[in-house]
Amino acid sequence: MKILQVCPIFPPRPKEFGSGVTQVVYNVSKELAKRGHKVEVYTSNALDVNTKIEDKSNWMLVDGIKVYHFPYVMHYYTFFLTPFMISAVRKNLKEFDVIHIHDLRAFQSIVVYYYARKYGVPYVLQAHGSLPRIMAKRRLKWFYDVLFGYKLLRDASKVIALSRVEADQYRRMGVPEEKIAIIPNGIDLSEYANLPPKGAFKKKFGIPEDKK
């Protein structure tokens, strides 16, 4: 199966520089590639909100994942405008069997959504806890959702919730129950293969053994 992952940021060394969402995209993509699937990532060339990736190559291979970093021309916080991505999506999207969109409110999500609908390619959307319009930019988020967000949710084949709480957030955004799948983030057990002896942390910091 050929799978496209879509996210605003995906560093060349995601284990070192990636955020929580990046780690999810990386780990899922890595395991899919191990199982023989062809996995590609379409993202911006942002390393973070202040730094661009210097590598000028068209794409790079990261642990079996083919990653395309499209240059952004401007950004507003983590909303990276990548217009050069449009032609690539228009040309290549029909080749994919399924798409996994990892951000509701992103330029990359809008572009891929438009052509996924046009070409009839199914997509799954995962909001990663970003659905509630809380904290900063509430009005902008509401405006975005009216223009694009509700459409992305409406037309998704499935949406992924991390928990029952997030599943309820999807329902409040108008997503029907049958479209919601609750899937907690996975854990790479190999990263915990060589743990320190039990009690080492307490001993190092002088914490009594019976203290919790």
pLDDT score recorded for residue 195: 79
pLDDT score recorded for residue 184: 92
Q: Is the pLDDT of residue 16 over 70?
A: no
Domain that holds residue 172: 2-187
| Mean pLDDT score, 29-39 | 96
**In angstroms, how far apart are the furthest CA atoms of the chain?**
63
Burial 123-149 (b: 16+ CB within 10 A, else e): bbbbbbebbebeeeeeeebeebbeebb
Q: Flag whether 196 is in a domain.
A: no
Q: Flag whether 200 is in a domain.
A: no
Q: Flag whether 39 is in a domain.
A: yes
Let me know if 65 is exposed, middle or buried by CB neighbors in 10 A (0-12, 13-18, 19+).
buried
107, 75 in Cβ contact below 8 A?
Answer: no
Question: Which SS3 state, helix, strand or coil, does residue 160 take?
Answer: strand
pLDDT score recorded for residue 124: 99
pLDDT band at 17 (very low <50, low <70, confident <90, very high): low
- Report the amino acid identity of residue 112: V
**Which residue would you say has higher pLDDT here, 53 or 107?**
107
- What digits encode the pLDDT tens for the residues 114-149? 999 999 999 999 999 999 987 668 888 999 999 999
8, 46 in Cβ contact below 8 A?
Answer: yes
Q: Phi/psi at 152 (nearest 5 deg)?
A: -60, -40
pTM for this predicted structure: 0.88
Give just the sign of the alpha carbon dihedral 189, 194, 197, 203: negative
pLDDT score recorded for residue 49: 83
Q: Flag whether 195 is in a domain.
A: no
Domain count, the chain: 1
CATH classification at residue 141: 3.40.50.2000
Q: How much of the chain, in percent, has pLDDT values that exceed 70?
A: 97
pLDDT score recorded for residue 89: 98
* Distance from C-alpha of 112 to C-alpha of 155, rounded to nearest angstrom: 12
Radius of gyration of the CA atoms of the chain, in A:
19
| Mean pLDDT score, 87-102 | 98
